[in-house]
Amino acid sequence: MSGHPRISEDDLHAFIDGELDATRRQAVEAIVRADPTLAERARAYSADKDSLKRAYANANGRPLPSQWLAMAEAAKKTRPVSWRLVGTIAAAVVAGVIGTLTFQQLQPRGTSEIVQAALEARATNAGENIAIGDAAQAHEFDDHLSATLAMPVKVPDMRRLGYHLVGMRLFPRAGSSGSAELLYRGNENQLFTLYLRRSDGKTRFDQFARNGLRVCVWQDDVLGMVMAGDVSTAAMQRLASLAYSGLTS
């Protein structure tokens, strides 16, 4: 984006979602058109949005469970509610009903053991570190990840959203499954981490701010993952969707 005015990730997502006023939309559109790299990122975001719409088309018209509506109403009294996030959670649940992922409960925000473990892993240089060169492909390291977690999984390729795999930290446990942290760098060198380990059996989707980072917990009855980065809520939703699907695709 060198030589052109800079726009934030929030502006870019709002532009894609049609949420900018006419004046700001024209300004952002001009910047995107003038920057091929930014234009490609915008196309990738739009493609992801279209894919989510197609995947969750059956969710249209279905009412949200009363538990979620009650939580959202309570949250409005203390903080602004991201209805885009509520919609994403609803879509994920409906998709689960038809076979993709089943959420049994929506846990409240707050500290949990897996979140603490993920943030500690991000803040330290512990574990077995694997440096990854610029030319390496994410799936070259599938075997390392599968062996550590003791389950068949793949290293998500996050390049569609501008993030490249730069390292892995493995935390194996003798005789049982361990945990792992995948490190990605964005186009502006921002760090995005993906922490993985076996689930405790409780399904969960949650997103919140912690220690200056946006944190997303996505856990089914088999695998738990915690993502963290200095990104917007909308960007984290897209990153989380791509990471979750990339574990098996």
107-121 residue pLDDT tens: 444 458 999 999 999
Distance CA 110, CA 206 (A): 9
- Average pLDDT estimate for 25-35: 88
Class of domain 103-246: alpha beta
* Contact criterion met (CB below 8 Å) for 196 and 244: no
Residue 135 has pLDDT above 60, yes or no: yes
Q: Delimit the CATH 3.30.200.100 region(s) of the chain.
A: 103-246
Higher pLDDT, 47 or 235: 235
Distance CA 181, CA 127 (A): 9
Three-class DSSP category at 98: coil
Q: How confident is the model at residue 53 (pLDDT cuts 50, 70, 90)?
A: low
SS3 content of the chain, % helix, strand, coil (to 5): 45, 20, 35
Residue 2 has pLDDT above 50, yes or no: no
Residue 218 has pLDDT above 70, yes or no: yes
Q: Tell me, what amino acid is at 238?
A: R
